Amino acid sequence: MGSGEGRTATAASLVEALRSYIDETVRITGSTEAVRPGHRVKFHWPPHPVSYEFHISPTAWSERAHFEAYGDTFAVEVARSSHGVFGRSPELWHEDRGDTVEEMLSNLRASAEPLFARQLAINRTLNRKGRFKGHVRELPPEDLIKLLYCEDRDVANEGRIELETHASSRLFTDALIEVLRDKRHPHRRIAQWCALDLFEDLPSFCPDEASRSEAVRAIEAFLWDAEDDYARAAFKAGVVLGGHVPGDQGEIALLRCLDAPSRYGSRSAIHGLFHVVEWRPDRRADVVAALRTHGEREGDEQLSKFALRLADDIESGAFDHVAEPVFPEEG
């Protein structure tokens, strides 16, 4: 993790930087509407070297060529054989082949596009131009937080993994709570899912009662007025409260969220209570009673049935539970 232009980051400075970043992004995009993200697609690089399949000798790379992409020039080492012309870019850790040098270079550039797209997405997320040419682990703390907002969910996940290695520093705790409170960045659902996933190890990020309570309040507020369940962030919030919060704070928050004005939040709270009983079987009777009371008075038919059926599953000691309802707009 980099130091950020010679400055020493603090928890407060990260929150301030995040707020400024969200302001800047809203100004650039002109929108605060949450974007529904696609599924995460895992990125693998480098691809398998095509020269291995044709047993190209290490001494065969005797010619030189180059190609241009996104304002940069890439040197290419060239080898020839009876199977065609092979090219490799040491900078990109990538190879391709063709019948001619020109075709090989065209193929090499085209097949490097997934890497270019990822590099462009990182810099676009950081509100910078061109390709990102470094390593995520070298980013300063304020940029790691921003990376959680990347439209490419695999990039955001890489940022999440890097943040996870610094959990015990508590440097990122307040910024992650701020992410959960964000109602303006268009790609906030991706970032919020990442923050919630990190909070599955809540004691590492919030080792004391005060910080833990602050995190739980932020998650509860997120559920209370959830506008959607994009990226399954609302679902994730219920899982965190139900199965990853020490003591009874998570259960109390979920019980309150049964009556959330957001049906996404209420659905998540119903499901989250199943996990409460998984970890605390002594709470079975009270949770079942709460779910039945809620189910009987819930005006939404789908949520009512879900609460009542889940209560039956919990009461019977089932290891699995009824599937959560899918709302019409989610189909």
Quote the pLDDT of residue 62: 96
Query: Do 149 and 220 fall into the same domain?
Result: yes
Considering the domain architecture, whether residues 83 and 105 belong to the same structural domain is answered as yes
pLDDT tens-digit map of 176-197: 999 999 999 999 999 999 999 9
Contact 319, 278 (CB under 8 A): no
Same domain membership, residue 181 and residue 32: yes
pLDDT of residue 303: 98
Dihedral sign computed on CA atoms, order 56, 59, 63, 69: positive
pLDDT digits (tens, 9 = 90+) for 292-306: 999 999 999 999 999
How far apart, in Å, are the Cα atoms of 198 and each of 19, 164, 224? 20, 7, 20
* Structural domain contains residue 221: yes
Q: What is this structure's pTM? A: 0.93
Same domain, 84 and 138: no
Has residue 4 got a pLDDT over 60?
A: no
Find tokens 């989610």 and name the residue.
330
Residue 66: inside a domain: yes
**pLDDT tens digits, residue range 262-285?**
999 999 999 999 999 999 999 999
CATH number reported for the structural domain that contains residue 293 in this entry: 1.25.10
Residue 69 host element (H or E): strand 63-69
196 falls within a domain: yes
Find the range with the poorest average confidence among 114-128, 260-274, 307-321. 307-321
Residues 101 and 207 in one domain: no
**Residue 302: closest CA among 325, 321, 328:** 325
Residues 20 and 76 occupy one common structural domain = no
Residues 196 and 295 in one domain: yes
**Two structure tokens written together for 244:** 């990853």
| Per-residue confidence band for 291, with pLDDT thresholds at 50, 70 and 90 | very high
Residue 264's pLDDT is 98
The mean per-residue pLDDT over the stretch 198-221 comes to 96
Q: Are residues 103 and 24 in the same domain?
A: no
Residue 6 within a domain: no
136-156: per-residue pLDDT in tens? 999 999 999 999 999 999 999
Residue 318 confidence (pLDDT): 80
What was the pLDDT predicted at 6? 45
Q: Domain of residue 176: give its range.
A: 11-39+132-330
Q: Looking at the structure, do residues 106 and 22 belong to the same domain, yes or no?
A: no
The answer as to whether 120 is a domain residue is no
* Nearest one of 33, 32, 18, 31 to 178, comparing CA atoms: 18
In a domain, 121, yes or no: no
Q: Which of 53-57, 65-69, 243-247 has the lowest mean pLDDT?
A: 243-247
Question: Within a 10 A sphere around the Cβ of 189, how many other Cβ atoms?
Answer: 25
Residue 103 sits in the same domain as residue 192: no
> Are 177 and 282 in a shared domain?
yes
pLDDT at 3 over 70: no
Dihedral sign for Cα atoms in the order 23, 222, 194, 244 = positive
Which pLDDT belongs to residue 246? 85
| Residue 122 placed within a domain | no
Is 241 found in the same domain as 319? yes
126 belongs to a structural domain: no
* Number of domains, the chain: 2
